[in-house]
Every structure is written in C-alpha cells, then in structure tokens.
Amino acid sequence: MPPPTSDATALDSLPSNLRVHVIGAGPVGLLLTALLQSVEGLSVCLYEKRREYTRTRMVQLAPYLVADSVESYRADAIDGDSVEAIFDSSELEQGLAFRQSIPPDLSALLRSWALGFCPLNSIERSISDLIDARGLNGVERTSAVVTAEEGMAMLKPGDVLIDATGSGSLLRDHLAPGSGEVADGANTLNVRLEYALVITFLYGQKYDCNEFCKYAKNRENPHYKFIPMVHRTHYDGSVSHVTGIVNISAREYEAMPSRFDGQWLRSNFPGVAQSMDRFIDKIKEETHGEILGDLEIVRIPLDLYRARSATSRQWLTAGPRDHPFASSPVFLAGDSAIGSPYFQSISLGFECAMFLAGLIAQRDLPLTEMLDRYELYIYKQWLRVYMRSKMIKHNKDLFESIDDPHALIDKLHIY
C-alpha cells in the first residue's frame, strides 16, 4: 500500500524567497545544493561537520543514473524489471527530462563517475569545488556539527530543511510526531539481513571476479565463503582493489572488535582465515600475483532500512502547531531516507536529490502535493531497493549451500 495522502497543512505553498537548509555535505547534500544553486529566488545554507573529505573507498555510480532513455534506464535485467513494475512510464520520462535539464558542468561530472570506479572523496571534492567555483551564488556554507535542536531552532516558518546526514540520520526519528523524548527507531523500519565481515585487500596483479569465479574459488569452503561484491574488484593499472564479504553469526559478530587485520583473524577465527587463504591461493594460482600488505577487516551488521516517513508531512498535517516542523517542511535525502548494503546507494541518493530539487523548483506546487509526491517517490524507490536486496540475500543463502543439495532444496521455494 502506498502511504496515505495528506489533506491540510499550516502552509499552503513555499514562500517566493525561499531559504533551504541542507544539513550534511556528503555526496547527496552536495548534489542537492549544486542543483538548487541554479534555481531562481532561492538560497541554500549548507552545514557540514567534517573539515576535509578523506573517505577514499572506491565507488561507482550506476549507469541508470545517467540514462538518456527509458530503455537504457531499465538496462539492468533485475532492477529493470522492478522499475517497470513499480514506476509508470510518465514518471520515468519526467525523471529523464530532469536529467536533461541539469547544468552541463554537473552532468559532465555525473557521466564521468558512471564510467568506472573513483574514490568517494573525489566525488565529494568535485561537487564541493563546483559549488564554490560558481561563486557561491546563493549558497552559504557553515562548518559545524548541527544538533537536532539546532536544526529546529534555525527554521523560520516556510524554510525548507533537508536532512542529508547519512545512515545515522540526525532527524529521521524526529519526524514521527509525539511529545517528549524521541525514541530511537521511532520512524525507522530496519530489516537485519545478516552479520558480515567486509574484507578488503590489495593484490599485485589484475584480478576480475564474476559469479563463476566466486563459485570455483570457494569450492573447498563449506563455510565462510568469501564473496567479492559484484563489480567491486577494481584494477588501477598496477594493483587490484578487492572488497568482499563473509557471512558470520551474531555470536561471532559479538566476539570480534569492530576493525582488525588478517593476523588477528588467524589467531582468533582460524576457520574464517583458512577460508580466505584458500580463496586467495586460487587467485594466485590463476594470476601469479601476491597480496600487498595485510587484510583489512571490518565487522558490520548488514541492514536494509527506510524512514517510514521521509518528510514532516505528519507534523504539518496533524502535529502540534507550535512545533517548528508544523510550519517548515522537512525532507530526508540519501542514506538518511533509505539504505541497503547491496544497492548502489549513492546513485539512489542522487536520484532522490534530483527528484527533490525538481519539486522544490516548482514554486507554484501546493505544499501538500509536494510532500505527498516525495513520500510516494521514496516509497517506490524503497520497493525497488527492498526487492533487489531480498533477492540478493536469498541468492547468497542459496550459494552458501550450493554443494549440499539437501540444504539447498530446503531453502528453495519453487511453486
């Protein structure tokens, strides 16, 4: 069921001289700011707590983000089917039309990031530099940690507040109306898919992985199969960057520190280490290279989540009138709204930013309609992410039992 629609709010539409506060200048907050920067009659206040962009992990944007036709938008066999089932053609056409209207300086960057891997901080720096190079036209940047109370206090009636603070969202749970203490998870639907070790290493030869390689190199690993992430091996001309995950139990997760290296793994969880060694030995047999340095390991719960409300719609329609959210629309964008460990989250966050910037630019749009449309859009994106993530998780579970027909059949639901 799509979320219900709203009926009446304290505000009818956004003021003509609009002030937008964007909290969080990660990739999504930056893209939103760059998109809003070219909208007439609007100023943006962008807040960021980090002084420098230091996240060097290699990421890639999904090709659908820069698609120029509905066919190319649906090119991914699995995601394309979900998209076709969830979105109307007119919605897809509108999304593509918005992409065509993105200023050339920004769209050139987006296209270049969809071609191959690049460090996350180079995406952040490029958009940040672009905003500055445009002469800060209408954008005021503040370096500060913003608290939820400060976020609320900065709002004048009619201001828009966008929370782009990532998965640990500053305001997500504050969007559930209520009085008193805000309960953790009050507005968050969380599906814990599994516990995993994310293992990264550098390898001194070209190494590319596909589904057959995952199978062949794990054949002697009945447990703790190492699964390089799809399209997450990256060769920079001399070194391959390999990232993958190993499924672990909740008890094992509890017994591990949050970060460690291969040596610690060998001493404390020899079963996992042997499985990794077997996988890596097979890479070496094939490509005659060596691991450079040690394994870098992080233990994480893999959570699929969404904000049940991605806007302050409930505050505006039914909350106490004296609360700041009752007179200022709030939107969640990027990881603060939806996240999945198996989905291209930056691309998803960028799409949400485009949709939201397109809504805010339509100054004559009634506020209720703006909120309803954003909620529905996020809900549809959630369905898309949920379907794909659950399918990947199911496939992973089957893969774990691939050499044990009884265990495999036990996990199948065929008809």
Ligand X SMILES: Cc1cc2nc3c(=O)[nH]c(=O)nc-3n(C[C@H](O)[C@H](O)[C@H](O)COP(=O)(O)OP(=O)(O)OC[C@H]3O[C@@H](n4cnc5c(N)ncnc54)[C@H](O)[C@@H]3O)c2cc1C
- Judged by the rule CB under 6 A, the positions of this chain that interact with ligand X are 23-29, 47-50, 57, 59-60, 120, 145-146, 164-166, 170, 198, 334-335, 344-347, 349
| Comparison of 126 and 165: residue with beta carbon closer to ligand X | 165
Q: Which of 269, 267, 230, 232 is nearest to 249 (CA)?
A: 269
Please give, one letter per residue, the 3-state secondary structure of 337-405: CEECCCCCHHHHHHHHHHHHHHHHHCCCCCHHHHHHHHHHHHHHHHHHHHHHHHHHHHHHHHHHCCCCH
Q: Quote the least distance from Cβ 180 to ligand X, whole Å.
A: 22
Distance CA 248, CA 199 (A): 12
Q: Quote the least distance from Cβ 196 to ligand X, whole Å.
A: 11
| Comparison of 140 and 404: residue with beta carbon closer to ligand X | 140
| Comparison of 161 and 170: residue with beta carbon closer to ligand X | 170
Distance CA 306, CA 393 (A): 17
- DSSP codes, 228-267: EEEEEEEE-SS-EEEEEEEEE-HHHHHTS-SEEEHHHHHH
Q: Quote the least distance from Cβ 207 to ligand X, whole Å.
A: 17
The structure tokens listed for 349 are: 């966050």
| Comparison of 225 and 232: residue with beta carbon closer to ligand X | 232
| Comparison of 20 and 28: residue with beta carbon closer to ligand X | 28
The structure tokens listed for 107 are: 């769209």
Q: Quote the least distance from Cβ 167 to ligand X, whole Å.
A: 6
**Contact between residue 353 and residue 315 where contact means Cβ atoms under 8 Å apart:** no
The structure tokens listed for 150 are: 């400060």
Dihedral angle of Cα 124, 130, 135, 138, to the nearest 10 degrees: -60
| Comparison of 9 and 331: residue with beta carbon closer to ligand X | 331
Q: Quote the least distance from Cβ 338 to ligand X, whole Å.
A: 9
| Comparison of 57 and 411: residue with beta carbon closer to ligand X | 57
With H, G, I as helix, E, B as strand and everything else as coil, classify residue 133: helix
| Comparison of 67 and 367: residue with beta carbon closer to ligand X | 67
The structure tokens listed for 360 are: 């805010």
Single-letter residue type at 133: A
Distance CA 166, CA 52 (A): 16
Q: Quote the least distance from Cβ 118 to ligand X, whole Å.
A: 10
Distance CA 194, CA 304 (A): 10
341-361 burial, b at 16+ Cβ within 10 Å, e below that, comes to bbbbbbbbbbbbbbbbbbbbb
**Contact between residue 326 and residue 315 where contact means Cβ atoms under 8 Å apart:** yes
| Comparison of 14 and 357: residue with beta carbon closer to ligand X | 357
| Comparison of 169 and 317: residue with beta carbon closer to ligand X | 169
Q: Quote the least distance from Cβ 232 to ligand X, whole Å.
A: 7
| Comparison of 140 and 220: residue with beta carbon closer to ligand X | 140
The structure tokens listed for 354 are: 């485009």
Q: Quote the least distance from Cβ 128 to ligand X, whole Å.
A: 10
CB closest to ligand X, residue no = 26
Q: Quote the least distance from Cβ 115 to ligand X, whole Å.
A: 14
- Residue 186: is it exposed, middle or buried by C-beta count within 10 angstroms (0-12/13-18/19+)? middle
Q: Quote the least distance from Cβ 170 to ligand X, whole Å.
A: 5
Single-letter residue type at 337: A
Q: Quote the least distance from Cβ 270 to ligand X, whole Å.
A: 25
